[in-house]
Structure formats: structure tokens, C-alpha cells
Amino acid sequence: MRRLSDHLVAETEYLWANVGAGVTESGVVLIDCPVRPSDSRSWQEKLRALSPEGIRYRISTDYHGDHTIGAAFIEDTGVISIAPQRVYEALAAKEGSLAGRDTFINTLNEVGAHDEAREIAEAVLPLPHVCFDEGMTLHLHPLTFEIYRLGGHTPACSSVYVPEEGVIFTGDVMINEPGPGMREARFREWIEALTWMESLPVAHVVPGHGEICGIEEVRRFRNEFEEMWGMMEELVDKGMTQEEASTDDSFEKFFWSDTGRGESWIAHRRRTFRRGLENLYAEVKEG
């Protein structure tokens, strides 16, 4: 667990998404929660030691499983869950289930964590209590949590800015490792979100994945998307079809997957990368 300030902490060592938390007079505010049940329980234990009030709020930054499944393993009662309305709709439509959870189950089975895979398979995800469309602000002394739905990665993708501490928890709007998930990507929107983020006076950027960083890494990430956009424009101008362009070898330098998570995870990453390039082709064609 890394302490970012007197009131904010983050963890980047768990499987899948990064997580963060704020310690307020009202209790602990979770910003996402680890997917793996043992990680979730370990994280909660560490955070309870920081406040006698325990865990009181949870903010989910997206509806993908790496940002929602861990909520099923929160042990404190009465935790108020906050999320974009689109997260509520995605979970409510499946009655607490979630499309894509098989990827996490298969990965845990492949690394021998069969009991935890079973826990995820049987988990019912709690619905958020408080939802927003574009954003909301949570005032819990001495912190302010400004939550913005920025999109780009998914329509729900959100970031949490804490101005007093100069810290932003970006969710998957910012990813500080190669090969971002692009299955639902809207690249123009994503570039605009990163450009906005670059304008903030922050000391620490906690990305959805990868190491804690600063604004320079946000700028680099945006530049990669702009490079991909330019490359796709060239292929479209050459008259390539969507299938031809989305499988062009020139984009291979942007693909990456953690090979330590097993073949199911690599295959999943390959599918989502291809889908993202198809989205990019469609956006470029639209002009």
C-alpha cells in the first residue's frame, strides 16, 4: 500500500485494476475494490486500520468486472455504493451478474486459485445506491471527491479527483502500461478526456492499471492514441476495409498482455484489441 498523502492511499500490486482509498472523518472511501477475493479481504483489513469508522463509501469507476466484482466481497455493512448510472443499468440488467466474468474465473483456475474462481462464479454483485450521469461531488471532511464520467474507455468510465491532495484516481481513462483495453473505446472522447486531465494541478496520477505516475505519462498515453488515429487515417485513405485495417501488422506495437495470467487472459486481450481497432476504423471513417 502506497501512501499518497496524509489522507489518500493506493495499491497497484493486486491482479487486474488498481485501487485507492481516502480516509475521512466519516470513514474510509473505497475507489474501486480488488477483484480477487483474497486481495479484497486483505485490502479491507489494511484500510480498517486507518479509521475507527471503518469502510463507509465505495466509488466504482466503471462496469467492467475489474472495477465491480470486488464489491461482492466487502465485509463491512452499510457501505454506500456510488457509481455512474450506466454501471447500475449494466448490473441491474443481469440481476447482479456480469458479462465477461468468465475471463476472471478462467484466469484464476489457470493459476491454480480454484476456490477463488468459484467465489467469483457464485458472487452476486451489489447494485449502487447513489448514481450520477455526468458527475457528482462528495464532501467528506477533510476531503472533496470530484467524480467525473469521462468515457473513452467505456461509456461509464469515470475518474475521481481530490483537489486538496492534488491526486486523481483516473480509473481506466488513464492506463500506465502497454496495450490498453479498447473493446468499447471511443477514441475521440478518450483523447479529449486525457487532454482535460493534463490541465489539472496534480502531484500524483493513480491510473486504472500500471504504476502511479504524473501528468507526463498522461500526455504520453494521449500521444499514443493520436498516433494510432493518424495510422488508421492512412489505412482508410488507402481504401482498406475494416477487417484489413484492424488486422494490419502496423498496430502490433501497441498490443501487450501479461503472459503470467494464462492463455485465457491473452486471448481475451487479443479479442478486445482487435475490437478496439474496429472502433477506431469506424470513427475515422465518420470523420
Q: Give residue for cell 492512412.
A: 234
The neighbouring-strand residues paired with 2 are 10
Find where cell 469506424 sits: 282
The secondary element (H helix, E strand) that includes residue 205 is strand 204-210
| Residue of 250, 281, 255 whose CA lies nearest to 186 | 281
Q: What is the pLDDT of residue 250?
A: 96
The phi and psi torsions of 28 (rounded to 5 degrees) equal -90, 140
Contacts of 156 (CB under 8 A, 6+ apart): 62, 63, 83, 84, 86, 87, 90, 149
Domain 2-213 has CATH 3.10.129.10: no
Residue located via cell numbers 475521481: 160
C-alpha cell at 186: 471511443
Tens of pLDDT, residues 153-210: 999 999 999 999 999 999 999 999 988 889 999 999 999 999 999 999 999 999 999 9
Q: CA 156, CA 86: separation in Å to the nearest integer? A: 6
The secondary structure of residue 77, as a DSSP letter, is S
Residues linked to residue 55 through DSSP beta bridges, in sequence order: 28
Query: Quick one: cell of 159?
Result: 475518474
Phi-psi region of 255 (alpha: psi -120 to 50; beta: other; left: phi over 0): beta
Backbone dihedral region for residue 164 (phi beyond 0: left; psi -120 to 50: alpha; all else: beta): alpha
Instruction: Tell me which residues of the chain have a pLDDT lower than 50.
Output: none
pLDDT of 268 = 80
Where do the domains of the chain lie? 2-213, 224-286
CA angle at 231 for the pair 229 and 233, rounded to the nearest 5°: 70
**How far does CA 37 lie from the centroid of its chain?**
18
